[in-house]
Every structure is written in C-alpha cells, then in structure tokens.
Amino acid sequence: MKNRRVGKLIALFLGVFVTVFCCTLFEGQSLPVFSETEEEKGEVSLLILSYGDISPTESSKTVVSLDTLKEDVAFLSDAGYVFVNSEDLIAYKQGRTTLPEKAVWLTFDDGFESVYTLVYPFFQEQGIKGDVFVVGSYSDLYSGNLSEKDGGYLSYTQLKELSDSGLFQIGNHTYALHEKKGIDGRKGVKQLRGEDDESYRKMLMEDVLTLQNRLNETIYKDSRVFSYPFGEYTTFSEEILRDDLGFLITLTYDKGINSLSEGSSLFGLCRYQRDGRKDTEDYFKKIV
C-alpha cells in the first residue's frame, strides 16, 4: 500500500513538472495551426474579364471607355490581383510555372481595332498582358484596301505586331460563326436541332481550321485558345475542340471565378462580360 502511494505521488509530481516546463518553454509563442487553406496551398483563384470594343470616351453595355479600363486595372492591382494571359495558364497546366494566388486575365473579344489603337499603348505603359480573340472573316475584310476611316477590326498586320510584342496572345473566335442567327439559324457554334454529329463536326472543324491557317500564314502562329461566340457551347463542341483540334483552353460566358489547382481542366472557363455602363467600384463589388 505504501509503495502504491509513493508511486502515485511520483507520477503526480512528474505530471506537474512536465506541464510547468512546457508552459515555460512555449510562453509567448503560438503553436502551429494547420488550416484548410494551408492544406489547399496549391489552389489559385482566376478571375477572367471579357471586354468588347474600347472607346476613347463613350460607354455602353458592350463598349467600355478607356478611362474605365484604366480604373479597372488600378482597382484590380490594388486588390492584389496579378495579370496573366493564356500562355501563363498553359505553362501552369503543363507544370512549367506557378500562378499567383489571385490571378486576373483580361480578354478582348471580336478583334476590335481599338485593342491596337487604345489598349496596346496602355498595356505597354503598364507592362500588363492579355488575349485578343479574333473573328477571321472580320480580319480578312480589314486586311484589304479599306481606308483609315473604315477601320473597325484588327488587320493581320496589326495582329502580328500585337503578338510579337509579347503582351497579347491571339485567340480563335471562329472564322465566320460570330452571328446571332446565321443563314441556317445557327447562333455561334451551336449545333442545330436535327443536325447529325458528323455534319456538325465537319462544319465546326472547317470553320475553326480556316482561322488557324490564316494565323499560321500571317502571324506565324496558330492558337490553342478558343472563345465561344455569345458563350454558346455544348459538351460535343468541347470534345471537338479538345480532341480533334488540339485546343488547350476554352472560354464561356458562364459567370464565376475559376478555382484552379495542378491538374485542373482549362476547358469551359467562366468569365464576366464587362458592362461599360457601370463604374469600376460598382461593377466589382459583387465579384471580388
């Protein structure tokens, strides 16, 4: 009985000693806490913005003034976003680089000439980058003998300069499918009701490859990034672009911020269409 009491007293003493020692050792120090965020350390946030035409002064639902674009860039920079483009995303997907935790990708659809005349000088000044998605039939037209006053879309000469600058990647926005209702009633690349899969595949491949060939001939690059006209897409169009045509990224108009990690798909990425009628803070307050 006596030995048991002595044993309990020794155990109690050791317990108190260890407790006091540990408290003294870690006094003023915080123990590591492993949060869910740290466990998902590789995850990055990708915000994609889509701009249409840029105007020196005017704004509308589909047109953004140059001042508004500049305010957007300043706001995003202050919010901790880092500007990336499709080249960065492809390198990330292939394990050749990392992305910032908060990345923003500026995209310009339809290939308006204002990307060359207004956005390009601003990007040069700020050292930021983005992508422009061109409609091949528009660039064909404006690469002809039109006078300056007729300018509206980017010529292939302008596209080559943008591409060579390293500030812009050139993306595919179809050759001649940028119509809300074409002669056959098709909206963008949408498959028609009753159209068989092989006919649809042939149509889409021929159109997209026409622009790919134009880009190879003029800027000496094809594109690995596709922007859906009007955001119209299907599981089948994604399959064709990925498996038959070798694209690595497709962009929709589905709203949302993309969450990426190693191995994430870059197909069907979400993005926001910029409404030029809203000022910068009002536009972004519900997004970021």
pLDDT digits (tens, 9 = 90+) for 34-46: 223 333 457 899 9
Q: What is the C-alpha radius of gyration for the chain, rounded to an integer number of angstroms? A: 27
Of 22-36, 224-238, 270-284, the least confident: 22-36
The per-residue pLDDT for range 155-204, each reduced to its tens digit, is 999 999 999 999 999 999 999 999 998 778 899 999 999 999 999 999 99
Fold category of 43-284 in CATH: TIM Barrel (3.20.20)
CA angle 97, 98, 102 (to 5 degrees): 145
Residue 108 Ramachandran class (φ > 0 left, ψ -120 to 50 alpha, else beta): beta
> What's the confidence (pLDDT) of residue 184?
85
pLDDT beyond 90 at 225: yes
Q: Three-state SS for 47? A: strand
What is the value of pTM for the model shown? 0.84
Distances (CA, A) of 76 to 48, 57, 144: 12, 21, 38
Q: Strand 258-260 vs strand 44-51: parallel, antiparallel, or unpaired?
A: antiparallel
Of 22-31, 213-222, 245-254, the least confident: 22-31
**DSSP H or E run through 282:** helix 280-284
Which amino acid, 279?
A: D
In angstroms, the CA 154 to CA 147 distance is 13
pLDDT beyond 80 at 81: yes
Mean pLDDT over all residues of the chain? 87
**Cβ(106)–Cβ(51) under 8 Å?**
yes
Structure-model confidence comparison of residues 247 and 31, the more confident one: 247
The per-residue pLDDT for range 241-287, each reduced to its tens digit, is 999 999 999 999 999 999 998 888 999 999 999 999 999 999 999 89
